[in-house]
Amino acid sequence: MFNKKTVDIAILGAGPAGLTAAHTLADKGMDFVLLDKEDKSHLNHQTIALHPETLELLDAINVVIPVLSQSTHLNRACLYDSHQKQRAVIDYSELTVKFPFIAVIDQDKLETILIDALKEKGYKPKWHHRARCIEQSDTNVAFTVDRLTEGMTGYAVAHMEMEIDKIFDYKANYVIAADGNHSLAREAAGIDYPEITRDLHYAVFELTTETSLPMEMRMIIEGDHTHAYWPMGPRRCRFSFQMNSESSDQDRGGSSPDLENTHLMALLKAHAPWFKAPIHDVTSRKLVHYQTHLADCFGNNRIWLAGDSAHMTPPTGMLSVNIGMHEAADLANRLSTAPNDDVRQFRLHAYNADRTGEWRRLLDIDHHIVGDDSTAKWLLRHRNNIIGNLPASGESLSAILKQLHLTDAA
pLDDT of residue 196: 87
Q: What is the pLDDT of residue 39?
A: 86
Percent of the chain with pLDDT over 70: 93
Write down the pLDDT at residue 199.
86
Q: Is the pLDDT of residue 155 over 90?
A: no
Q: Tell me, what's the pLDDT at 154?
A: 45
Region 333-356 average pLDDT: 97
What is the model's pLDDT at position 43?
A: 63
pLDDT for the residue numbered 372: 85
Q: Distance of alpha carbon 78 from its chain centroid, rounded?
A: 21
pLDDT of residue 2: 57
Which helix or strand (DSSP H or E) is residue 289 part of?
strand 279-290
Beta-bridge partner residues of 298 = none
Distances (CA, A) of 76 to 27, 73, 322: 34, 9, 18
Q: What's the pLDDT tens digit per position in 374-383?
A: 999 999 999 9
Determine the pLDDT at residue 306. 98
Q: Is the pLDDT of residue 258 over 60?
A: yes
Structure confidence at residue 249 (pLDDT):
42
Q: What is the pLDDT of residues 55-69, one digit of tens each?
A: 999 999 999 999 999
- 205-245, pLDDT tens digit by residue? 999 999 999 999 999 999 999 999 999 999 999 999 999 86
Amino acid 150: pLDDT: 80
pLDDT greater at residue 151 or residue 155? 151
- Mean pLDDT confidence for 128-142: 97
Average predicted confidence (pLDDT) for the chain: 92
Domain 2-64+108-195+293-361: CATH superfamily is FAD/NAD(P)-binding domain (3.50.50.60)
pLDDT > 90: what percent of the chain? 84
pLDDT score at 387: 87
248, pLDDT greater than 50: no
Instruction: Return the domain boundaries, the chain.
Output: 2-64+108-195+293-361, 198-290, 368-408
Poorest-confidence range of 189-193, 305-309, 384-388? 384-388
pLDDT exceeds cutoff 90 at 285: yes
CATH no. for 198-290? 3.30.9.10
3-state class (DSSP) for residue 274: coil
Q: Per-residue pLDDT averaged across 166-172, rounded?
A: 96
The predicted structure's pLDDT at residue 255:
62
Q: How far apart are CA 183 and CA 181, in angstroms?
A: 5
Tell me the mean pLDDT in the region 196-204.
89
Q: Specify the long-range contacts of residues 332-336, CB closer than 8 Å, at least 24 apart.
A: 332/9, 332/20, 332/21, 332/22, 332/24, 332/25, 332/28, 332/30, 332/176, 333/24, 333/28, 335/9, 335/25, 335/30, 335/174, 335/176, 336/24, 336/25, 336/28, 336/30
